[in-house]
Structure formats: structure tokens, C-alpha cells
Amino acid sequence: MTDKPLTLAEKVWRDHLVVKGEDGAPDLLYIDLHLVHEVTSPQAFDGLRMAGRPVRRPDLTIATEDHNTPTLDIDKPIADVTSRTQIEALRKNAAEFGVRIHSLGDANQGIVHVVGPQLGLTQPGMTVVCGDSHTSTHGAFGSLAMGIGTSEVEHVLATQTLPLKPFKTMAINVEGTLRPGVTAKDIILAVIAKIGTGGGQGYVLEYRGSAIRALSMEGRMTICNMSIEAGARAGMVAPDATTYAFVKGRPHAPEGADWDAAVAYWDTLPTDDGAVFDAEINIDADNLDPFVTWGTNPGQGVSLLDTVPSPDDFADANEREAAVNALRYMDLTPGTKMKDIAVNTVFLGSCTNGRIEDLRAAASVIQGRKKADGVTMLVVPGSAKVRLQAEAEGLDKIFTDFGAEWRFAGCSMCLGMNPDQLAPGERAASTSNRNFEGRQGKGSRTHLVSPVVAAATAVRGTLSSPSDLEPLDPLTTGIATLGNN
Amino acid sequence: MEKFEVFTGTAVPLRRSNVDTDQIIPAVYLKRITKTGYDDALFAAWRGEPDFILNQPAYKGAQVLIAGADFGTGSSREHAVWALRDYGFKAVFSSKFADIFRGNAGKQGLLAGLITDEDTEKLWAAIEANPGVGATVDLEARTVSVGSLSVSFQIDDYTRWRLLEGLDDIGLTLQNEQAISEFEARRPSFKPKTLPAKGV
């Protein structure tokens, strides 16, 4: 008798099942890795303290500081009292409960979703949780990675398990070859525009197809990161040679016989032929344009070559009403060319696009050029290690010569809870993941873009792709070719 | 957690869809390290606008929120549930909730009930015809009623049972201590550990 063909998500679920739920109760799943940061953990540690419970597995737990850390003057005490209180609470809790922590100033500090993969702690076939919705990032390794709330953080700290209801599965098939200047970010923005911010609700998404296979691990992380913006609980990519090459040799990667055993297991994880997904959608990579958002949710996106839509374009009453509200908030008129929208600020960073390849791609676009007058550009590496790597490659010099600000690692302007914020009414092209009202500061207006679109926008001052830029004169700039990934 | 019992409280029609958790509670309020006291943070940006629904005297002390589709999307912050709870809400109804929000709600004793778009419109109309009217929420019967209008809502059996019994999650899980220990003994040695720390 042959086993029923299973999807990647179903296999990872099966292999972490501690207790099968009965009578409508959820399954109890074991958690391989718990990432902790300062914002969603204080109340969880407090709960443990009140109940007299220890952290069950400090050796499967790691903490870092990212959400409300400043990206300037990191050697000085944090000016904002509440931010400082929260960070001091995390340091105290980590010490008391024996949890490893990488604090501001440490070479391993950074955005929690950049730090895990960088240390080799994120590997295929794991269950990974964190009190942050963008935990879905780690699904790029073929892990089941989910954002959880603070009560669940406490639950995992106390028990290393989580009660979970089985999800449905959705295949996102992305076939074809991306054109130059079109990136992983454009794929995921197109997916969200297609299925909507609620389209993935109740599903674990599996990104499949030749265009996904061709992506680097960092590109796959960008895509899985924004699964949550499609409403999904998690997003995954089956592990392959690209995954193994990324993991191998990292500080916490398996070694020797453990490596061989791990690879033998990881090889069993990809979705079986004949496995059935509960839903399936197709994206044509060949004809994809750079994608940008015009509204106040990540599903309100269009091709950069397009115009701002009219509420009348939407058949669904909810979507129409959301468009009316979004256009008012964003101060945009239907019919305006996306490329005519001028921005005040360009933000390059975040757990979506703050890794080394993102910085390289943006640097290759701006090298030898000057920033548009009146535009502020903030470049914020996703981790202290990414910053060091970029400096070793001279990327910091390219950014500062261009006129951008080169900052220390953190979540920065992705969310309005540290000093990096937009002023009311200011408009940004941002490589982050959310364009909600007030997300980048009260009254802020956000257009989500890829790193290369962010870079080209900083050159022209209006939303632009690298192909909109005037060719550089190789004689005067000494730059013969432009990287275009 | 308190047991969820039948109650009647002022109902508020929130005629907005896609209310994300950044709208329910902006990130600046996430810096507190307490688990209560977030009532001032609920819908903070909108509450600055005089004509926002919760600023209208008729809806003072509201306990039941009837929202548009896709409520609680975005960030996983449980503070969104705490803010609703601290403000006084005991139940939220929508035709679609974000998964994480719905999970968080159940754990904090906030009922998140699914209703149809059609029933949402009916409830909005019934409340707006009589601002300040109470809604009666009966979790046992899975109904929410305003005057003569009674609407069924969906909630999964397990969450309903836990709300009705007021049961704590961690206590329930720790009843499986033996199964957890046995699972740990079976875990392969290649699985990574954060300690002892490497790469530092």
C-alpha cells in the first residue's frame, strides 16, 4: 500500500504532531525554534513569572532587539523612555530565564527574521514561531513559520508547543522568467493584488514553479515574508540545492553525520507528485512588471506602468469603499500615472528587503548617480552583520556618495514605533511590507516597492524603475554596466 | 479567564472594511510592558476625529462591535485584542477575521463571531435606526440580537467551549506533559539549538 501523497506543509505538520486533537480540539504541535523580540514578549515573561513557570527550552529560544531600537547614536542611552523600558525588560527577562539575547551594539543584533537565517538557526522542515506576523519569512527554507500573539508566546515559552488548527493549502504557481528589473518583491505584490489581503485566510501558501526555483534564498524570503499580507498564516518554498547551499557552513548548521542525516530528511520534504492543494493560483512571471501599491492595504497594487485606479473599477462593494477611503488618505486622483507620483522619502530596509542582496541591487542602480533634490533616502541594513558585509563591499560609500543616509540595523521606518518616522502628509516609496494608514508615522503615506524601484525613485524623485533612468556615460563615470537583479 | 455568559450591551456599527491592527491600536502604544490599560489606545487615530462613531454620545460604553469584512488584518499584535477588551468590548462581529486576530481574541475571552455580509448590513441598519440600542449576545445559542432582529454567528466548537468554560490554554496543554517529553526524546540530533551559542 502506498502512502497518501502529501504537500510540504502537511509533512512538516505531521512530523511535529505531539497530540492529535479530538472533538474539534486543535492539534498540539512541537515548536523547533522560538524567536523573541522586545515588543510582544514582556507580558509573556510576566505571565510565566506570575505562574512560577520556567522557559521549558531556552536552548530553542533566541531574542534580539529590533522594533523600537534607534538606527542612529546606538551607543547612547535610548532617548524614548517607553522604548528604553521595553528593551530593558527584555534584557532582564532574558537574563532571568536563561534566554540567549543579541542586544543593540552586538554583531548579531538585527531584525529577528534576518538574524535567524543568518545564524543558520532557520533550516528546512522546522516549525518556527515568533510574536511577529512576518515570521512567515522563514518559510522560504521549507519550514512552517508563523506569527503568534503574546499569549501564544507565553504558551511556547512554557511548553515549547502550540495548539493549532490544521490549515488548508494553496499552491501559488509562478512559472516563467522575470524580466530585468522585476524581482521577488514584484511577484509577491502581484500575488497579493490578485488574491487580496484576505485571499490567503486559513491557508498555508506554497510558492512553486520555475520562477521561484530560480530565486535566491533572499528572494524567497521576501516572498514568504509577505504571505501574511495576503492573509495567509504562513508561506513556504520547498527546500532544494539553493536552500542547502545557503544553510551549509552557517554557525548553527548541522555538521558531519548530522549534516548528512539532515539532508536525507530535507530531501523527503517537497510536495509529493499527486498531492492535492485545496486551492491553486497561477502567476505568469514572463509578463510581470514592477509592482507598486497606490492605496492603504498591500492588495491595492498595480503595475508601475499603470495609473491610479478609480473606485468604479471595483465590482465588490467593500473594495470600492476601501478604494474611496484609500484615495482620500493617499491624496491621489484616479487616472494619475503611477510614475508621476512624487515622493519625499525613500526607505530601503525591513525584514522584507533589508538583506545584503537588496542593498547590492539598490546600490547597482544608484552607483554614479545623484539623488533627486528634496528626497530623503534612508538605508537601513536588516542586521548588524548585513551592515558589516555591505561596508566590506563598499556599498555604504555608494549610498552616502549618492546622498542617502547609512544607518544601523533595525525595523526602522517600516513601522512608526522608533525615531524613524514620516511626518504627517509625507509620502514614501518603501521596500517594507505594509502601507496601512499611519504605518510609517501618523498621517504618513506609503507606496510599497522593490529595492530597485526604490533606488530608481530616489534618482528621479517620482516612482520609477531602473529602465526609466538615463544611461550612464561610461567615460565619465567609469561604470560600464549596471547590475540588474 | 472569566466564563462567557449571555449579556446585553451597547452595539456599535463600524462601517469600515479591512480594519487592520494598526488602526485598532497604532504601534506607538505597543511600547508598554503591561497587559492592561490600553483603552485609550483603541482606534487612537480615528478617535481624534469628532465624527468617529465611538465619539458619538449614543455609543458610550459600547460592548459589541459590528465591523465590516476583513477585521484585524495585519500585524499579529495581541494588543489589538487587549485594547478592544480594555475599552469594554466583549464581542466583535465581522464577515471575515484575520486568522491571528481571531486566535488572539479567543485566548483573551473576546468573542469573535462570524456573520454574513447580509446580516452585517441588517445589524448596522437596526443599530443606526436606534443609536445606543443594546445587542444581546448568546454564545450558547450562537446568536446576536438587536430588538426583533436575531442573527446567527459562527464560532468553532472548541473556542466556544473554552470561552463558555473560561479555560486557560497553558494549563490545558500541560496536561500533555508526558506526550511532550516523549516527543522531545524522539527529536533528531541534527535539529539546531540556540545554546551553546555559536557565531558570536
C-beta atoms of A151 and B188 within 8 A: no
Looking at residue A358, its pLDDT comes to 98
Cβ contact A39–B198 (<8 Å): no
On the CB side of A397, how many CA atoms lie within 13 Å of its CA? 6
Rg (C-alpha) for chain B, rounded Å, is: 20
How far does A454 lie from chain B, in Å, by closest CA? 23
Q: Which residue has the higher pLDDT, B168 or A281?
A: A281
Sheet holding A27-30, edge to edge: A17-19, A27-30, A161-164
What is the arrangement of strands in the sheet containing A279-284, beginning at the earlier edge strand? A234-236, A203-208, A168-175, A279-284
Residue B2 buriedness (CB in 10 A; 0-12 / 13-18 / 19+): exposed
Least confident of A70-74, A174-178, A281-285, B114-118: A70-74
Query: How many Å is the Cα radius of gyration of chain A?
Result: 22
Determine phi and psi for B74, rounding to 5 degrees.
Answer: 90, -140
Nearest CA in chain A to B67: A318
Asked if the peptide bond before residue B196 counts as cis, ω within 30 degrees of 0, the response is yes
Lowest mean pLDDT among A190-194, A346-350, B166-170: B166-170
**Residue-wise pLDDT tens digits, A283-298:** 999 999 999 999 999 9
| Cα–Cα distance list, A256 to A123, A394, A473 (Å) | 16, 35, 51
| Residue A478: pLDDT band with limits 50, 70, 90 | low
What pLDDT is attached to residue A485?
43
Give me the pLDDT at residue A482, please: 46
pTM of the shown model: 0.89
- For residue A28, what are the β-bridge partners? A19, A163
Q: Does A225 touch chain B (CB under 8 A)?
A: no
The helix/strand/coil state of B198 is coil
- The whole-angstrom separation of Cα A325 and Cα A327 is 6
Please, is A397 exposed, middle or buried when counting C-beta atoms within 10 Å of its C-beta (0-12, 13-18, 19+)?
middle
Confidence of residue A1 (pLDDT cuts 50, 70, 90): very low
pLDDT(A479) > 70: no
Find which of A39, A138, A442 to mutate to test the B interface (most B CBs within 10 Å of its CB): A39
All three cell numbers of A307, joined, read 495609473
| Residue B36 banded pLDDT, cuts 50, 70, 90 | confident
Q: Which residue of B has its CA nearest to A108?
A: B200
Cα A164 from Cα A144, distance rounded (Å): 12
Q: Which residues of A touch B105 (CB under 8 A)?
A: none
Give CB contacts under 8 A, 24+ apart, made by A83-87.
A83/A417, A83/A418, A83/B31, A85/B31, A85/B33, A86/A38, A86/A39, A86/A42, A86/B31, A86/B32, A86/B33, A87/A38
| pLDDT band at residue A416 using 50, 70 and 90 as cut-offs | confident
List, for residues A225-246, the tens digit of each pLDDT value: 999 999 999 999 999 999 999 9
A484: pLDDT strictly greater than 60: no
Best B1, B21, B40, B75 member to test A by mutation, with max A CBs in 10 Å, is B75
Contact list in B for residue A152 (CB cut-off 8 A) is 103-104, 107
Average pLDDT estimate for A401-421: 95
Please answer whether residues A151 and B108 qualify as being in contact, where contact means their C-beta atoms are separated by less than 8 angstroms.
yes
Report whether pLDDT(A483) > 60. no
Tell whether A166 lies on the interface with B, counting CB pairs under 8 A: no
List the single residue in B22, B35, B199 with the smallest CB-CB distance to A46. Answer: B35
What is the distance of C-alpha A225 from the center of its chain? 4
Contact B32 A82 (CB under 8 A): yes
Is residue B123's pLDDT more than 70? yes
Query: What is the ipTM for the molecules in this complex?
Result: 0.93
Reported as a single tens digit per residue, the pLDDT across A328-385 is 999 999 999 999 999 999 999 999 999 999 999 999 999 999 999 999 999 999 999 9
Q: How far is A293 from chain B (nearest CA, A)?
A: 16
Band (pLDDT 50/70/90 cuts) for residue A140 is very high
Cα–Cα distance between B110 and B115 in angstroms, integer? 16
Distance from chain centroid for Cα A103: 21
pLDDT tier at A5, thresholds 50, 70, 90: very high
Question: What average pLDDT does the structure give for chain B?
Answer: 94
- B200–A51: do the CB atoms touch at under 8 Å? no
Q: Which of A228, A229, A350 to mutate to test the interface with B (most CBs of B within 10 A)?
A: A228
Residue tagged 512552517 (cell numbers): A144
Strand partners, A174: A283
Distance from CA of B119 to the nearest CA of A (A): 15
Grid cell for residue A170:
494553496
pLDDT above 90 coverage of chain B, percent: 84
CB-based contact A437 B45, cutoff 8 Å: yes
Q: Do B76 and A120 touch (CB under 8 A)?
A: no
pLDDT the model gives residue A3: 82
As a whole number, the mean pLDDT across chain A is: 95
Closest CA to A43 of A153, A188, A199, A126: A153
- pLDDT given at position A362: 98
Residues 331-370 of A with CB under 8 A from B: none
Burial A99-117 (b: 16+ CB within 10 A, else e): bbbbbbeeebbbbbbbbbb
Neighbours of B197 (CB within 10 A): 16
